[in-house]
Structure 1
Amino acid sequence: MSIGVITHLHIAKATRLPMRAVDAAEIQTARGIIGDRYHGSRHRQVSIQSLQDLQDAGRQFGAPIAPWLTRRNITVSGTAVPRTPGAIIVVGDILLEVVRVAAPCKLLDDVIGAGAQEALRHRGGSICRVIDGGPVEIGTPVAVCTEQAVRPLRFVTRMADA
């Protein structure tokens, strides 16, 4: 199991408003990120993407793609983001469950440039619901694990902070 870290956090107050970079946020159980447009939605509570996937998409696209342009909340480095529904992602003390793949929308070609949607296909990250909430910030450890490994991993990440 690889442990990565959060490299970028973004929120938008409403749909179609620009994403805003933040250093820290509060993620609420079964609700999402406080202050984000999807806070309170049933399933689309937090979106997460891999920095490596974003860099790969940028190479295919022919130019770097800034994390905020994809409209995902959390960007991580050092670990892959699972796409399988039911997968568990541990973000510090926060537990996220993957609900579905975050498919890139056609508007990305308008915002980023022609070909962006295709470059991000299969690299758009995942949409998650929040099982256990809490504070999150840039540098928070992130790991993907089976449900059986969640409790020990949360203990290990807390011990690493001590």
Structure 2
Amino acid sequence: MNVPVVSALHVAPGRRLPTRSVESVEIVQARGIVGDRYEGAKHRQVSIQSLEAIREAEADFGAPIDPGSTRRNITISHGAVPTEPGALIRIGTAVLEVVRVAAPCKLLDDAIGPNAQHALRRRAGSICRVLESGVVSTGDEVHLPELVGDDRKIGPPRTR
């Protein structure tokens, strides 16, 4: 089976400020992404979504949705982003723990267009905290939970 990879990375320096696309980010244990608006937050340290889910939302929305416009930090190429609290995701050498589902907010209707929030419902990814630090770059492999019912098992770290 095809291993998902990081297809896009976005950071925003502050609340309501536009996100900017970057090639790599430094993710720090218990802090989040260096330079992002949520750096230092207790639980909301990194957000992750699937490009595959965005493409499904586009069908409902009726127009293209740029991954950066959703305000999520990490977009993976494909696969279902786990939403169960406690699920682990390894990206490069960083390990994230799912805290909760990322609920799309009303701001998306303003930024993307009317009904974007509705189209992204149940497709907006997850909010995570950082358990292990690492540098994450576009193209890095993403190891999602491998066993149904055992969301805490993840694949091996990627060697560079």
Q: TM-score of the superposition, structure 1-length normalised? A: 0.91
Q: Which residue of 2 aligns with 1:131?
A: 131
Give the whole-Å Cα distance in 2 for the aligned partners of 1:90 and 1:2: 15
Does the CA contact (< 8 Å) of 1:9 and 1:23 recur in 2?
Answer: yes
Q: Which residue of 1 aligns with 2:7?
A: 7
Letter in 2 for 1:74: I
2:110 aligned with 1:110: yes
Identity of aligned residues (%): 54
2:156 aligned with 1:153: yes
Q: TM-score of the superposition, structure 2-length normalised? A: 0.92
2:38 aligned with 1:38: yes
Q: CA deviation at 1:2?
A: 5.8
Does the CA contact (< 8 Å) of 1:51 and 1:75 recur in 2?
Answer: yes
Structure having the larger proportion of residues in helix: 1
Give the whole-Å Cα distance in 2 for the aligned partners of 1:2 and 1:45: 27
Unaligned runs of 5+ in 2: none
Spell out structure 1 runs of 4+ moving beyond 3 A.
Answer: 146-150
Unaligned runs of 5+ in 1: none
* Aligned-residue RMSD, C-alpha: 1.5
Give the whole-Å Cα distance in 1 for the aligned partners of 2:109 and 2:151: 37
Deviations 1:112-138, CA, capped at 9 Å, x for gaps: 111111100000100000000110100
Does the CA contact (< 8 Å) of 2:88 and 2:153 recur in 1?
Answer: no
